[in-house]
Amino acid sequence: ETITNHLPTAELQALDAAHHLHPFSHQGELAEKGARIITRATGVTLTDSEGCEILDAMAGLWCVNVGYGRDEIADVAARQIRELPYYNTFFQTSHVPVIALSAKLAELAPGDLNHVFYAGSGSEANDTNMRMVRVYWAQKGKPDKKIIISRNNAYHGSTMAGASLGGMTPMHEQGGLPIPDVHHIPQPNWYAEGGDTTPEEFGLQRAQELEKAILALGEDKVAAFIAEPVQGAGGVIIPPSTYWPEIQRICDKYEILLIADEVICGFGRTGNWFGSETMGIKPHIMSIAKGLSSGYAPIGGSIVCDEVAEVIAGCEFNHGYTYSGHPVAAAIALENLRILEEENIVDRVRNDTGPYLQKKWKALADHPLVADACIVGMMGAIALSPNKAERAPFDGDSGAVGLICREHCFANNLIMRHVGDRMIISPPLVITKDEIDTLIERATRALDLTL
């Protein structure tokens, strides 16, 4: 029994509407409709306050990689809370969970990414990165290297720095963002912006926008380039194969730090431990969160390469959060990583259930409403269009048809998100083949109803 689930759904909804301000929601409209109240979950399945079972094809917010209802994690959390529920890592103290987790992350992360700075979330990790790269260049005698280049339609979080680094226009429009010294270049979204070019030509062109921006802003002013290996919240935009090698070449040529925001791509989502491995890049810093703890506790961080860590170690870095390296969150993350390893979950995404899902997902492109189906590992999107051959958008509001499709999914006990008129999935990485069949059946039914 949860604390309040003895109350009838309507009463819970009324209390929710009266007192709970929801993130990324139109509060007035939600209050009229009433939120769906989720009471429990196991595996890939949520249960709501009416007893309906819902297949969660979004793993919460792209985070519950090991699935819901893991007793092992609950046990570790309870033990850690009893032993040491909190202690800080400021001012010359440390503790066992954070030490063990840092060593484990250094082992899992590619190359010489061997040092971890902790935060409570992905947004906070990116705030850290923004400050860290500037401190790095200042320490190296180049304090003017401050500008961070990012991309339109990127998502890097919702704090002032995170939302500024991100390239979401509706976020920038509220609250006067972005903050200074952040510059955005066009995204590698061939489906929407590629016109008559081939994906390969387009990928190269869009990567070269980085070089143009560096030359226009001044090499001596640019600190870093930040990007998600695969844009997630922007609609699962998988860049053409030519994009990342060219970005890597440009970052190397102009000595620009490369920050890979692995908040979604990390911990198996793309079929490797990190999206940087799938895309063949060598970042100096990776932002992590979400799948680090499979959402069982809020924790994020930055994994930093030897050279950046060494330079930062030369000064006092005046930055940190009360919950940097929280012992309970760290113990939970460590147990989550143990599960990912012991159950070969990343390998299954690469070689077994991942390819199974990919085949079925790509077949959705045969549906009359679907102009494109793309997927890497277990993050995928389908683009809805009234004219498949021309990849045409719908008349009227972008996202109106996506919203209708999402509502049909919801009514069919399937959680898929819509980003404009793209429907996206990012299921728990433990989803079975039978559950994948159910996901595809329900998605197809929702598409049929949207037609």
Angle of helix 327-342 relative to helix 71-83, nearest 10 degrees?
150
Query: Half-sphere exposure of residue 358, counting CA atoms within 13 Å on the CB side?
Result: 17
Q: How far is the CB of 119 from ligand PLP (least distance, A)?
A: 8
Q: Which is nearer to ligand PLP, 157 or 178 (CB)?
A: 157
Tokens (6 digits) for 106: 């250094």
Give me the least distance between CB of 166 and ligand PLP, in Å please.
8
Residue 157 vs 283, nearer CB to ligand PLP = 157
Which spans of this chain sit near ligand PLP (rule: CB under 6 A)?
Answer: 61, 121-123, 126, 155-157, 162, 228, 232-233, 261, 263-264, 287, 289, 300
Q: Identify the CA nearest to 154 among candidates 257, 227, 246.
A: 227
**Residue in 346, 387, 348, 380 with CA at minimum distance from that of residue 362:** 380
In whole angstroms, give the CA distance from residue 451 to residue 445: 10
Specify the residue, 261 or 372, whose C-beta has the smaller distance to ligand PLP.
Answer: 261
Least distance CB 113 / ligand PLP (angstroms): 17
Taking the complex as a whole, the smallest distance from the CB of residue 121 to ligand PLP amounts, in Å, to: 3
Q: Which CB, 289 or 364, lies closer to ligand PLP? A: 289
Q: How far is the CB of 231 from ligand PLP (least distance, A)?
A: 8
**CB closer to ligand PLP, 123 vs 150:** 123
Helix intervals (H) in 84-153: 96-108, 122-139
Instruction: State the minimum distance, in angstroms, from the CB of residue 347 to ligand PLP.
Output: 24
From the CB of 262, what's the least distance to ligand PLP, in Å?
A: 8
Closest residue (Cβ) to ligand PLP? 122
- Comparing C-alpha atoms, which of 248, 290, 287 is closest to residue 269? 290
CB of 273 to ligand PLP, least distance (A): 16
If the CB atoms of residues 229 and 327 are measured against ligand PLP, the closer one turns out to be 229
Provide the β-strand partners of residue 116.
303
Contact 240, 203 (CB under 8 A): yes
**At its nearest, how many Å lie between ligand PLP and the CB of residue 329?**
12
Q: Which is nearer to ligand PLP, 155 or 190 (CB)?
A: 155
Phi and psi angles of residue 261, each rounded to the nearest 5 degrees, phi first: -85, 100
Helix axis angle, 96-108 to 327-342, nearest 10° = 40
Give DSSP secondary structure letters for 177-234. PSPSSEEEE----HHHH-TTS-HHHHHHHHHHHHHHHHHHH-GGGEEEEEE-SSBSTT
Question: What 3 state SS string does 60-79 have?
Answer: HHHCCCCCECCHHHHHHHHH
Is the CB of 43 or the CB of 162 nearer to ligand PLP?
162
By three-state DSSP, how is residue 414 classified?
strand
123 vs 358 by CB, closer to ligand PLP: 123
Shortest distance, CB of residue 228 to ligand PLP, whole angstroms?
5
Nearer to ligand PLP, 123 or 153 (CB): 123
Q: Which is nearer to ligand PLP, 264 or 440 (CB)?
A: 264
The length of the chain is 451
* Phi/psi at 185 (5° precision): -115, 165
Cis peptide, bond prior to residue 178, ω within 30 of zero: yes
Q: How close are the terminal C-alpha atoms of the chain, in Å?
A: 41
Cα separation of 23 and 12, whole Å?
Answer: 18
Closest approach, Cβ 352 to ligand PLP, in A, equals 26
